[in-house]
Amino acid sequence: MGELTIREMEQDDDFAAWYSELIEQEEEAAGRSGGPEERYLMLSNEIGDWIGGLRYWLRGGVAHLVDVVVLPQERHRGHAHRLLAAFEQRAVDGGAHLAEFWTEDERSEGLLAALGWDPIFRRENYIGQRPWSLMEKRLTVPG
């Protein structure tokens, strides 16, 4: 066997596409759905300028909210509520029965709790040695 090398790769390199294809083949061979597909929701104003967005992925009936952001000057106008409602609807449309989100921000926990999300787990000394909470919401799938 020749010399082997391990190095870090950027997501947009050809390796990422090769790796994703390999994972997909493994998932199909095991009879499971494919890996998570990252998706974005974008919020723009009347002239088309981006003012906020949301990133998530779907996998096996779970919609994992990665992050939500709104420009500082656009906050406190209900934009995050709009993005979260759109996320939940798209998650249901995509076949998700559960939404989840890890957060270290107590304000996020409060907002999500007001929208029907439940804290189900708290992990002390997690990312950045800070406490993080896992929030979840059961989604109503039409049927």
E strand intervals along 5-71: 37-44, 50-59, 62-70
Tokens linked to 141: 């799938």
The H-or-E segment that residue 16 falls in is helix 14-29
- Is pTM beyond 0.75 here? yes
Per-residue pLDDT at 126: 93
Residue 44: CB partners within 8 Å, gap ≥ 6?
50, 51
Per-residue pLDDT at 134: 96
Chunked mean pLDDT (size 10), the chain, 143 residues? 73 73 79 74 93 93 94 93 95 95 90 93 94 95 68
Per-residue pLDDT at 123: 95
- Domains of the chain, start order: 38-138 (3.40.630.30)
CA distance 62 to 87: 12
Q: What b-and-e string marks burial along 115-137, b requiring 16 or more CB atoms within 10 Å of the CB?
A: eebeeeeeeeeeeeeeebbebbb
Torsion of Cα atoms, 63 then 68 then 74 then 80, to 10°: 30
